[in-house]
Chains A and B, each alone.
Chain A
Amino acid sequence: MTKKFSGKTLHWEWQDGVIELTLDRAPANEIGMDTLADLELFVAAFPALEKETAVCIIHSTRKHGFCAGADLRELYHGAASLSVNESVANVRKFLERIHAVLNAIDSAPFVTIAAVHGVCFGGGFELALACDLIIADKMARFAFPELRLGLIPGFGGIPRLKRDLGNALVRDLLLTGRSINAARAQAVGLVSQLAAEGEALRVARGTAAQITKFDATARAAAKKFIKPIPHDELKREIAIFCELFTRPEVMAALKKFVTSDDPMPYLP
């Protein structure tokens, strides 16, 4: 039996105990309101799917990568016509909704795998960090470029990366804004398996086939035991993000980014 869903920005299919969620929004799966709505529908299906699901693989069909992060153009244009208080209220609402989605993925009773290629930046990196395993092809790159905008990552990335790998790596990525390649990401423990270029999904499927052999109750208990959600830090992250977002420097940086003709506008 197959179950399917197709939204504006993604589609997913359940087959033989494995869900494959495919991110598919041009140009590079930037996360805005449409993606949020599709992801909310996806996690709303968990209660109906979880008893018969062992693994969920999240991957992208977009050529440039897994996900380039939040949709900054939508963020800028949405905030530009509003008062500061109104735009902060909208941002807070968006963050609370995306946190609910990522917390649901983080705590799903099945195993979640991010199969990553190309760019995995900002909000895309935070989506991957909500997953249990990251399998990356050798062309993948990971970054938190948010400080270039005068912000911090807002989708739970800092608490999750700190939980998984510790504060030093968070500081390196956050405070320099640099991207690291897949080999480095594997060396520090972020990436569990390296795949050849274009082979991350195939490796993820092979890993899923192994995981489905294990007892579901033990798997869920193990995950709950070793992967607590850092709720307090996640709430604090939203508060800090919203506090920073009120500053005119942020809108100026967003405007500079969305109107830039610099060949490398992602650089701080």
Chain B
Amino acid sequence: MRVRHLMIALAAIATMVVTTMAVLELKRRDVADAVQSLPIEIGGPFTMTAHDGRTVTQADLVGRRSLIFFGFTYCPDVCLTTLNEVALWLEELGEDGAIIDPYFVSVDPARDTPERMAEYVDYFSPRITGLVGSDGDLRRMAESYKVYYARVDLDDGDYLMDHSAAIYLMDSQGKFFDAITYTATFEEAVAKLRRLVDEG
């Protein structure tokens, strides 16, 4: 009898593990689909704190054109490149891009305080707004935007963050319009932004 109980317990555990793995795999696919087969439901409710302390929600996107992208200030390579690119696109668009509000959302709320975000984004462009929130705020926003992020611990107690790197273009209703992926050229990105301004 004991052996049978043990077998049943093991089977139950195995089922749980497989189910969990399947769910995780589905989540990963969701992210992939979100980037590849457009349009999909990207966007939705969020409440975050801007680097200047004001509250930013989905309602702030209405009537504007928004760029929403995720990262963390501890990342010296890719995130820095992304922010630099966004600043260059805005510069290229000039007055034509005045309606665009870029939002850099931190996936590292433990380290990214509003003060740190303020210094960081302002270095690239005063037009960029840094957004931070509690773990729960961030999780809800990431769910709305189908964004994946995960903490990766290093041997020495330090940590890095994995995160989706695409930039989402949101229209005047705060709905998903297009995305700029990390591999896009400068010209492609600027063309997409022009379309966002004209048609979004």
Q: Do A and B bind each other?
A: no
Please list the residues of chain B having a beta carbon within 8 angstroms of any beta carbon in chain A: none
